[in-house]
Amino acid sequence: MAKSSVLGYPRIGAEREWKKALEAFWSGKLEEAAFQDKLREIRLNHLRKQQEKGIDIIAVNDFSYYDHVLDTAVMFGIVPKRFSYTGGEVPLSVYYGIARGTKEAAASEMTKWFNTNYHYIVPELDGAEPTITENKPLIAYREAKEQLGVEGKPVIVGPLTFLKLSKGYQASETDAWLERFIPLYIQILQELEREGVQWVQIDEPILVTGLDQADLSRLRNIYEAFAAAVPSLNIMLQTYFESVENYKEISELPVKGIGLDFVHGHSGNLASIKELGFPEDKVLGAGVIDGRGIWRASLREKCGLLNELAAIVTNDRLIVQSSCSLLHVPVTVQNEAKLQTELKNALSFADEKLDEIVLLVKAINSGEGSIADDLDTCERALQALKSSDERNRLDIQQAVSAISGQQPQRSLPFAERHVVQQKKWQLPIFPTTTIGSFPQSVEVRKARQSWRKAEWNNEQYADFIREQIDIWIKLQEEIGLDVLVHGEFERTDMVEFFGEKLAGFAFTQYGWVQSYGSRCVKPPIIFGDVAFENAMTVEETKYAQTKTERPVKGMLTGPITIMNWSFVREDIPREQIAYQLAYALRQEVEALEEAGIGMIQVDEPAVREGLPLKEEDQAEYLAWAVKAFRMTTCTVQDTTQIHTHMCYCEFHDMIDSIEAMDADVISIETSRSHGELIHSFEQNTYELGIGLGVYDIHSPRVPRVEEMTNMIDRALRVLDPKLFWINPDCGLKTRGVEETVDSLRNMVKATQIAREKYTLKV
């Protein structure tokens, strides 16, 4: 008989109970014992829900106090020296210090988890002496069994993936580090085996990226060592996000099961199994339900896929599961009372995906007739959305088809634009600015709520926003910034704000997902054709410009970021969605320019997040991503300065594409990995305007002037001072007012030092 499983469940809770507990603990409103009790309650509720839904094999140790990669690091005592850790179980103060920083020590780097919108804390191996501080998977297994009678499946990040995602070692040291880690993994697995654990899920998503022969040899050594040490333990070697590379070699590894993604890696994994078969001594974890998307699965199509697999793998060796952890989707559709019916019926969040998996297992074991009504209901829901007016706007489809057939470009090349822009703006060397947003205080959030609840009318809310703009324009002038922003006080989120003003979008009330740490986002749903309706940002930006003689940047989110930070429709290519967004945003850019705004920032922090994991697919994606940005910005005057902003960007492997975007100024979030980025510029030239973030806004600490001066000096070793801007590394919405002002004052002081030093050289 086939069985059901998922690879992990969302941590945050249907009403973000997890986030609220973390932030209460950090602010001192919740004592540590009460905090631990609250998280235990949330964790057990998640397990209980899966148990009640009928999931056969329930993941444990997928829950985290912040991030699962950080959990793995502290389990092995991988704590940077600057946190003064002396051994033993890592206390929460150190754990959260690594993630968020302290007054004395900077946080560890944070970067994206493969090609998702989730970000993990990068382990720092430099100087580390790995040891087991506690067996987290065993603790989670015991809790589930003792409290709920759940025979859990402990989840562990695999050694090859963990090492590949870490920093602080040379490639030549890879084998030496594996020799340190393998005995520790074995000790953990042996303790699980002695406990009577039946299945352990070892996540190795690195296997869907390109592995060389050395890595394949390491992989075999790892799992042969595990097989020898824990011969009676069933190991599920789990992959996700794409099809595996080197299927033949991986299928021959001495493990009991192999988990494959048949959603995002559908064609590759299915082709491999059909061509090479599947080992008769192994269980197949068939990831047929999308763990990253929010759309209801076509159960008939999934039954067809499972029937194809059943011709190769017998039912007793089949586990039907999600394609990846459900961490990446909201908790439940049931609470969404405001969505239009045809859209709501076509959605499936985490809880609904549990139901889909259980239904598919029933169909396999008892025949499709056993779920005939569910099959019919599903197809009706999907067809209703497909035929909706929102998905069939011929005016938009024809207009986008026309402009996407052209090659978008500015009328002058950058070198010539730079001359006329400098003549217009008369900016000093090293212009200072910010990325766009300023602190969203309790007062700001309360005002927005009052407006949304209709307790305030539109004019009251507009007056409040203008008051905030007045305060922060004055503050920016007092601090000494050169290029100002209006502060974005009217915006909840850099994507949601625009989606609410464009056609083709829908919004949930409770559709939150974790981005990093306690930072949760509520991605919009792009379910129809995207269309511009009215100006979205002109009123506030134009007002701010009347309050100062200094330039105020218009602030937009770019088409690729809106797409990558939304849940998007699946019935048309993502490229076409990007072009629809670009066409709509172009009209906003033109409206800003017409209103007299001569600096416009079109943020694209998420370009790299959409980069395909397969190298052979990356060039095509980058080509149309660049084209979408240029479609948005290419119609402005030569004197209009186009800015953009990017986050967590491994600059060296896409510098050509970033230059091809042809933005006049790009700011890059780099402060947690400044050295690596500087190294990229030592190997590559960059001849457009650029600002490297000189301090980390994700940490509550106020950076010293000397820290920022050092960052500026390092950058100017390889960048042209005439084209260099100075700014924080990201928006300041999540920071407090006092720390924001103090940090910016220090940034301006560091700039003044740099100006005195470099004006003599220029």
Measured distance CA(265)–CA(323) in Å, rounded: 9
Do 274 and 253 contact (CB within 8 A), yes or no?
no
Distance, in Å, from the CA atom of 220 to the CA atom of 228, rounded to the nearest integer, reads 12
Closest residue by Cα to residue 154 from 330, 8, 364: 8
DSSP structure class, residue 243: P
Residues 6+ apart with CB under 8 A from 752: none
Q: Is 726 annotated as a binding residue?
A: no
609 is in an annotated binding site: yes
Tell whether residue 435 is among the known ligand binding residues.
yes
Of 286, 137, 280, 244, whose CA–CA distance to 200 is shortest?
Answer: 137
How far is the C-alpha of 118 from the C-alpha of 327, rounded, in Å?
A: 9
425 known member of a binding site? no
Residue 227's region, left for phi above 0, alpha for psi from -120 to 50, else beta, is alpha
Q: Which of 296, 241, 293 shows the shortest CA–CA distance to 265?
A: 241
How far apart are the C-alpha atoms of 595 and 539, rounded to whole Å? Answer: 9
Please name the residues in contact with 282: beta carbons below 8 A apart, sequence gap of 6 or more: 251, 255, 256, 257, 258, 317
Report whether 484 contacts 553 (CB < 8 A). Answer: yes
Q: Annotated binding residue at 368?
A: no
549 marked among binding-site residues: no
519 is in an annotated binding site: yes
Q: Which uninterrupted H or E stretch holds 453?
A: none
User: Is 185 exposed, middle or buried, given 0-12, 13-18 or 19+ CB atoms closer than 10 A?
Assistant: buried
Q: Is 725 flagged in the annotation as binding?
A: no
Phi-psi region of 108 (alpha: psi -120 to 50; beta: other; left: phi over 0): beta
Side-chain-facing half-sphere of 446: CA atoms under 13 Å: 3
* The two structure tokens encoding residue 592: 């800003």
754 with 726: CB under 8 angstroms?
yes
The answer to whether 15 is annotated as binding is no
Q: Which helix (H) or strand (E) holds 747?
A: helix 737-759
Side-chain half-sphere exposure of 245, counting CA atoms within 13 A: 17
- For residues 200 and 234, is the Cβ–Cβ distance under 8 A? yes
SS3 131: coil
User: Which amino acid is it at 744?
Assistant: L
Q: Yes or no: say if 555 and 498 are a contact pair by the CB < 8 Å rule.
A: no
Residue 263, φ and ψ in degrees, nearest 5: -110, -70
Residue 400 to residues 46, 403, 582, 628, Cα–Cα distance (Å) = 44, 5, 9, 11
The CA-CA-CA angle for residues 648, 650, 656, to 5°, reads: 120
* Reduced DSSP (H G I as helix, E B as strand, rest coil) percent helix, strand, coil of the chain, to 5: 50, 15, 40
Q: Is 117 annotated for ligand binding?
A: yes
**What does DSSP say about strands 502-506 and 525-532: parallel, antiparallel, or unpaired?**
antiparallel
Instruction: Mark 486-523 as b/e (b = at least 16 C-beta within 10 Å).
Output: bbbbbbebbbbbbbebbbbbbebebbbbbbbbbebbbb
Q: How many Cα atoms within 13 Å fall on the side-chain side of residue 120?
A: 23
Tokens of residue 515, six digits: 């981005």
The phi and psi torsions of 157 (rounded to 5 degrees) equal -70, 125
Query: For residue 424, how far is the Cα from the chain centroid?
Result: 38
17 is in an annotated binding site: yes
**CB atoms near residue 478 (< 10 Å):** 10
According to the annotation, is 730 in a ligand binding site?
A: yes
- Fill in the DSSP letter of residue 645: E
Annotated catalytic residue: which of 46, 68, 674, 698?
Answer: 698
Query: Residue for token digits 């203008």?
Result: 466
Q: Is 119 a catalytic residue?
A: no
CB atoms within 10 A of CB 313: 22
19 is annotated as contributing to ligand binding: yes
Query: How buried is 26 (Cβ within 10 angstroms: 0-12 exposed, 13-18 middle, 19+ buried)?
Result: middle
Angle between helices 266-276 and 299-310 (to 10 degrees): 20
**Quick one: tokens of 30?**
């919740």
565 labelled ligand-binding: yes
Task: Tell whether 134 is in a known binding site.
Answer: no
Q: Which residues does the annotation place in the binding site for Zn(2+)?
A: 645, 647, 669, 730
Q: Which residues does the annotation place in the binding site?
A: 16-19, 112, 117, 435-437, 488, 519-520, 565, 603, 609, 645, 647, 669, 730
Active site residues: 698
Q: Which residues does the annotation place in the binding site for L-methionine?
A: 435-437, 488, 603
Q: Which residues does the annotation place in the binding site for 5-methyltetrahydropteroyltri-L-glutamate?
A: 16-19, 112, 117, 519-520, 565, 609
Q: Which residues does the annotation place in the binding site for L-homocysteine?
A: 435-437, 488, 603
